[in-house]
Amino acid sequence: MNSEKSNRISRGLKAGVAGLVLLWLSGCASSVQMLNGAKLDASAKACNVTVYQTLKLAEKNGPIEEVCIITDDLGLQSIDRSIQANKANVCKCGVKHAYVQSASGSVLTQVVVTLVGFKYLEQNTSKPAIAAEK
């Protein structure tokens, strides 16, 4: 009787762990949505991207045009790591600037980050806003 109960518990634990692994793996995705009919440049390599912590900080250098939205759902990683991993996607949008629209989670939970890639309409180089170099 104890052996049968142990086997059921063991099978239940294995199934639970397998389910968690599948859930975690299925949640590992990054998507890029281009705005205003722009086209994604899939051949773009890494470029020097400045990531601003907020829209307000990004707009301190002048008016912007949002080009793409990047949503990242990388499972059990940090927010910083997610931002770093998506700099290449910002480059593929054809821009070198992004701001963090939202970020939630931690290394112990599901991390979801949304970046907005943008370009400046008028470049104001006199006093750059403080950016979070991520």
Please, are residues 38 and 94 in contact by the beta-carbon 8 Å criterion? yes
User: Going from the N-terminus, what domains does the chain have, and what CATH number goes with each?
Assistant: 28-120 (3.30.110)
What local confidence, expressed as pLDDT, does residue 90 receive?
A: 95
> How far is Cα 16 from Cα 70, in angstroms, rounded to an integer?
31
Please, are residues 49 and 90 in contact by the beta-carbon 8 Å criterion? yes
Secondary structure in 3-state letters for 17-50: HHHHHHHHHHCEEEEEEECCCCCCCCCCCCCCCE
Decide: pTM greater than 0.85.
no
Q: Which amino acid is at 102?
A: S
Picking from 77, 115, 74, the residue whose alpha carbon sits closest to that of residue 96 is 115
- Residue 129 vs residue 80, higher pLDDT: 80
- Residue 90 vs residue 21, higher pLDDT: 90
Residue 64 pLDDT exceeds 80: yes
Span 28-50, pLDDT tens digits: 577 888 898 878 887 787 789 99
